[in-house]
Amino acid sequence: AQSVTQPDIHITVSEGASLELRCNYSYGATPYLFWYVQSPGQGLQLLLKYFSGDTLVQGIKGFEAEFKRSQSSFNLRKPSVHWSDAAEYFCAVGAIRGGADGLTFGKGTHLIIQP
Amino acid sequence: NAGVTQTPKFRVLKTGQSMTLLCAQDMNHEYMYWYRQDPGMGLRLIHYSVGEGTTAKGEVPDGYNVSRLKKQNFLLGLESAAPSQTSVYFCASRRDRVSIEQFFGPGTRLTVL
């Protein structure tokens, strides 16, 4: 069964500093990987996705993620965070195994921005 | 296009009461999903549907029923609500078997007293 691990429950970063959120997945074949962001009281917004090809993926709001097959990782990065980036971030993996599988989500990382 | 919408946004129930959550999508997507989100647990799949008239169980289906009578709507029912069903419920849709990306609704916050 596929699984996603986000090792950091909370991360605190100063505004203007760089950010890296970790995501490790377990899946037997090439995964389809996603990062979603959830602002307080809001739904999930897709930041970026990886299906195939270039392992460095660019997303919205200045985020990027790098797929590393050898490390089973898909870490999210941003060179300079803004106060508005404070939110919950979810990594997810999907597959076409039976054609209809839902996404498997990590438990999330809560990002706090210090002024 | 409204995308994926959910009704209601908030609801408070007493233990034993029943209710139905409505999810609607206007993207002509084949697949639809219901997830629940609990603190520290991420999102977990409750039920899903691969087309009109079809439903299937996900990871945490107990205590819930679903129906997909129309392609654009996916209903989640709680026949006898329990405090353990206090959660935020998200609906999502997906275009078809090939397209993996899911589009999420804004969520329904349900409290069972």
Complete domains list, chain A, with CATH:
3-114 (2.60.40.10)
pLDDT in tens, B10-47: 999 999 999 999 999 999 999 999 999 998 888 999 99
**Does the residue B46 lie in any domain?**
yes
pLDDT in tens, A18-77: 999 999 998 877 788 999 999 987 889 999 999 888 899 999 999 999 999 999 999 999
In chain A, which residues have their Cβ closer than 8 Å to the Cβ of B31? Answer: 100
- Type of residue found at B70: K
The answer to whether the beta carbons of residues A12 and A114 sit under 8 Å apart is yes
Per-residue model confidence (pLDDT) at position B61 = 95
B106: left (phi over 0), alpha (psi -120 to 50) or beta: alpha
The answer to whether the beta carbons of residues A77 and A64 sit under 8 Å apart is yes
- Determine what percent of chain B is predicted with pLDDT higher than 70: 100
Number of domains in chain B: 1
Between residues 21 and 50 of chain B, which touch chain A (CB distance below 8 Å)? Answer: 31, 33, 35, 40-45, 48, 50
DSSP assignment letter at A16: T
Per-residue model confidence (pLDDT) at position A51 = 85
**Spatial CA neighbour of A101 closest among A93, A113, A109, A112:** A93
Per-residue model confidence (pLDDT) at position A54 = 86
Among A43, A49, A96, whose Cβ lies nearest the Cβ of B101? A49
B64: containing domain? 4-105
B70: domain CATH number?
Answer: 2.60.40.10
The answer to whether the beta carbons of residues A38 and A92 sit under 8 Å apart is no
Burial of residue A22 (CB within 10 Å: 0-12, 13-18, 19+) is middle
The span from the CA of A36 to the CA of A83, in Å, is 18
